[in-house]
Each structure stands twice: as structure tokens, then as C-alpha cells.
């Protein structure tokens, strides 16, 4: 716990001038800075300079579910529109991977040139964290479109945020307030809500997708390649709008081959007898 005396002693902050000298920022007066801005709980003083160097952080989902080129271009555009005019993006870090991956496995993709992304890539999220620990790093702050682009799970998102914070590098999002002189408490509250929402959204989508697949199978429809001894029979899609677009569904039926395998081995299914036999030998 910081005592009031310690807060008072630490209130005057040091600000670097263009010629490299350090000058003291007054708590109040002509500077117009709030008490929060010069507080030890506030943002790094580097953000009070006229020009702030920004690292852009982006992520797009797997290439078969999203267009990485368009997604990252959109994220960069939204990030540029959100930062103050005196802030300049000097580095670009992005990945094409799932946001649900463990942080230790993130940022290891390659062959990004095949996506034709017209943004020079300085590395992925792992490179960003490594660079942030360098005293001579090329950026002062990190910006992303929203916190879900950092990670889809709250633990990984917090880990990235804490690592950057330890290195005096704040993490901002374009859909959250970007201020350097106000209270951080309200921003932290909104950040934690957004991280919870990001994790909820992906888990809810996965649960609904799984439920849809289960319903699809219970309705008798097939998924993927037919099992041995079966073939698919194609039907018009039961949804009229999808049927109008030429979409179809398929069901399995025996292919009539001689020497058809026993029903207990078809499609991974088992008969009551085979299940009883395995339970006796287990």
C-alpha cells in the first residue's frame, strides 16, 4: 500500500525534452496535467512527449476461416483512426493463428508472403514481447483493434498485458478510451470486461457449433467421407434458400459390396454384443 506521503513525494514526474535533458513536470499549473498524469499509478512519462512511437499488434484467425489480408488491413485502419495525431505507428506485428492457442505456442507461423498482405511485418506476438524488454526498443506503446486480437482467452490476454506493463509499455485498443492523463481504474474495468467477452464469444461459438453437429448427425445426415461399406446418397438441402444456391446434404446407405464388414465395425459403431464383450475383458 502506498502512503499519502509517498504519493506526494513521487508526484513530480520527469519528462524528457527534445534535446535529451530531463525536466520536472509540475503537479498543477500551466502544464494542464492532472494529478493522475504525474502519479506513480499513471502512464509512463514517455507518453507525455509530443511524439509517441506505436507498435501495431494484429491477429487474424486461421486462413480457411478468414481472409488474413483484409482482416489485418481493417485492423490497421481502425487502429490508426483511434490513436492521437501525435502518435506514429513505427512497427507492425501480426500473426495468422487461433487466439485460443497457448501463449508459448503463439507467433511461430511463417510464409506470410503468400497472403499478399501489403504491410511490412516486424514479427509476431512473441517478437513483440521480446522487443518490449529491450531498453532500446523502437516503440513506446502498443495498439490493437480490440483485445480479442491479442488473445481469445483472458489468461493469455492478461499475460501479454502484464508482460508489456512490466516493461513500461502500455497496451491500448481502438475500441477503448485512449487517454494518458486520466484515471486508469475505469479503463482497467472496461478492459477486463472486454477480455471476458472475448473468451465468452469463442466458447459460446464452439458450444453452438458442437450442438449443431450433433443435431445434424441425429437427423441422419453424413459428415465427411463415407465409412467403409457405405456410400452417400445426395439430397437437396432442406433449407429452401440454401437449396436455391445449389447446396446439398447427404446420407449414408450400404454400397452393396460383397464381404461387407460386420455392423460392429461400421462407422465406429458397436453392437450390444460387442460392447458387452469389451466390458467383460476390460
**C-alpha distances out from residue 147 to 112, 270, 280, Å:** 22, 46, 52
Strands (DSSP E) along the chain, which ranges?
13-16, 22-25, 52-60, 87-96, 141-144, 171-173, 230-236, 248-254
The predicted pLDDT at position 33 comes to 60
The predicted pLDDT at position 275 comes to 40
What is the average pLDDT across 219-228? Answer: 86
Q: What is the pLDDT of residues 3-16, one digit of tens each?
A: 445 444 444 444 44
**C-alpha distances out from residue 87 to 32, 83, 90, Å:** 19, 6, 9
Task: State how far the Cα of 168 lies from the Cα of 134, in Å rounded to an integer.
Answer: 11
The predicted pLDDT at position 40 comes to 60
Which residue in 71, 161, 83, 91 sits closest to 131, CA to CA?
91
The predicted pLDDT at position 269 comes to 41
**C-alpha distances out from residue 19 to 16, 22, 71, Å:** 8, 9, 40
Task: State how far the Cα of 84 lies from the Cα of 90, in Å rounded to an integer.
Answer: 14
Q: Which residue has the higher pLDDT, 258 or 127?
A: 127
Which residue in 188, 122, 186 sits closest to 157, CA to CA?
188
For a pLDDT cut of 90, what percent of the chain falls above it? 41
Task: State how far the Cα of 202 lies from the Cα of 208, in Å rounded to an integer.
Answer: 10
Q: What is the pLDDT of residues 9-42, one digit of tens each?
A: 444 444 444 455 544 444 444 445 666 655 666 6
The predicted pLDDT at position 38 comes to 58
The predicted pLDDT at position 26 comes to 42
| pLDDT at 80 exceeding the cut of 90 | yes
What is the average pLDDT across 257-262? Answer: 53
Stated pTM of the model = 0.69
Q: What is the pLDDT of residues 176-212, one digit of tens each?
A: 988 877 778 888 899 999 999 999 998 998 899 999 9
Task: State how far the Cα of 267 lies from the Cα of 92, in Å rounded to an integer.
Answer: 48
Is the separation of the CB atoms in 223 and 213 below 8 Å? yes
The predicted pLDDT at position 277 comes to 39
202's CB contacts (< 8 A; 6+ apart) are: 99, 100, 152, 153
Amino acid at each position: 500500500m502506498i502512503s499519502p506521503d509517498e504519493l506526494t513525494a513521487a508526484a513530480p514526474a520527469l519528462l524528457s525534452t527534445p534535446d535529451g535533458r530531463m525536466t520536472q513536470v509540475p503537479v498543477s499549473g500551466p502544464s494542464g496535467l492532472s494529478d493522475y498524469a504525474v502519479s506513480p499509478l499513471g502512464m509512463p512519462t514517455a507518453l507525455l512527449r509530443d511524439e509517441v512511437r506505436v507498435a501495431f499488434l494484429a491477429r487474424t484467425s486461421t486462413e480457411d476461416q478468414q481472409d488474413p489480408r483484409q482482416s489485418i488491413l481493417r485492423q490497421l485502419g481502425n487502429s490508426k483512426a483511434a490513436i492521437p495525431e501525435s502518435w506514429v505507428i513505427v512497427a507492425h506485428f501480426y500473426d495468422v493463428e487461433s487466439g485460443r492457442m497457448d501463449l508459448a505456442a503463439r507467433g511461430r507461423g511463417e510464409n506470410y508472403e503468400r497472403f499478399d498482405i501489403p504491410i511490412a511485418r516486424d514479427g509476431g506476438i512473441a517478437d513483440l514481447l521480446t522487443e518490449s524488454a529491450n531498453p532500446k526498443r523502437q516503440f513506446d506503446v502498443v495498439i490493437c483493434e480490440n483485445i480479442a486480437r491479442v488473445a481469445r482467452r483472458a489468461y493469455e490476454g492478461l499475460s501479454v498485458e502484464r508482460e508489456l506493463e512490466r516493461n513500461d509499455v502500455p497496451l491500448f485498443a481502438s475500441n477503448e478510451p485512449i487517454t494518458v492523463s486520466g484515471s486508469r481504474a475505469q479503463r482497467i474495468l472496461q478492459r477486463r470486461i472486454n477480455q471476458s467477452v472475448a473468451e465468452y464469444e469463442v466458447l459460446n461459438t464452439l458450444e453452438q457449433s458442437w450442438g449443431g453437429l450433433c443435431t445434424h448427425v441425429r437427423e441422419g445426415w453424413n459428415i465427411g467421407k463415407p465409412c467403409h461399406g457405405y456410400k452417400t446418397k445426395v439430397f437437396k438441402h432442406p433449407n429452401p434458400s440454401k437449396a436455391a444456391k445449389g447446396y446439398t446434404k447427404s446420407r449414408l446407405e450400404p454400397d452393396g459390396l460383397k464381404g461387407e464388414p460386420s455392423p460392429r465395425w461400421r462407422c465406429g459403431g458397436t453392437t450390444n454384443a460387442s460392447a458387452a464383450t469389451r466390458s467383460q475383458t476390460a
